[in-house]
Structure 1
């Protein structure tokens, strides 16, 4: 049975926690502290060629880092204490002792403050690396659904190749020519579309790709020339294909 301990939160710990909660957009103090401690436990404490470990580098950086000014407003209320797994806290304390081995005591307040700051810095770096990729599936599809611009030129051959192969399968069925490649996907997508031929995503309720799922091409005037519709490419040949491959039992292979 896990043994929990009640830990009083100093102002410095609160400030570090509020800073992290702003970066992660998550307000549960206890959960944030637990995540921070697990992050410290995941760090490698083995020394590298330069005589320093990942753990040491990250904790020393965190201890130097200042929490932004005025992070806590006087009007806001924060918990005075939280309950944490005593075994986890002890393990993290041992990690800190490897870095701060000259300290006679390594106080829990110091551990929590720097664990939170280290985790905040980690998430800050993650946010910088992935800030262009922060859209959810529904947000991205909403953007695609609203896009009615028609790209009336051929896309990059290598990028379009698989989508074009899939489009040929769809066109083949339209002309009563059964194609074995991607046959399951075509048959299943026929069962998943609504009256507008919009595909309904399996992984999220009431999320539709607002494009005719069965029509991959844009036809140019009276010449009967056709080009791959890039909106169909993204919504059907890419996202619907992945959705069905991941969440439809018949298509999981």
Structure 2
């Protein structure tokens, strides 16, 4: 099953939003509710918003958390804010006044306008279709098994780093290639750091104190017969390639790196995530 899509709704009608939750869940959409624009802005600027895939805006709503009544200026302010701060996200307008629908559709021609009590299913379908076009969502769905592991065992920064790397695999820009390889090495180190938490006998604490000592970890795993030949070769290849051409950028190497070098290291890293899941899932 694909990961649910997370979306923000700004609407001061709490009862309506609660009624929308069930419809959204059936469409595999998780709604975060804010009752005013100020709270919506704060949410967008928080780390929780990194997974956001769409926005639903009421037409008349409160702009500040201190407001006692809804304002007609809300929709213009809200649209301006999201156009400026999150232009990649699909944004729709939702009105509870049927007689406003035509005027709003003409006024905001570049946005989809929907009526409460009539268009919820159509609105959610549109938002889902648009969200599935987002680069972040497409990347997560393409490597679904890997991101399930990351969601279970790793933090949001790890997810962001891997997404950014996978999205730029095909670049031929030398600086980005070096950055990708450096990122791959950091993610390899992260795997061993996380493995220490559940399997300290596999990755001893002295190997991750201060700098992560990948060579020592690989030797320890090899000597303890804890790693198969394929995984050992992949891990060694990731470390050596990323060390020479990523963080340290060894210019003495005769053969220049290419996007295919990054492809090779990245896919070896994905295999290492699968190995990690297998190891931490073992009992004992």
TM-score normalised per structure 1: 0.33
TM-score normalised per structure 2: 0.30
Larger radius of gyration: 1
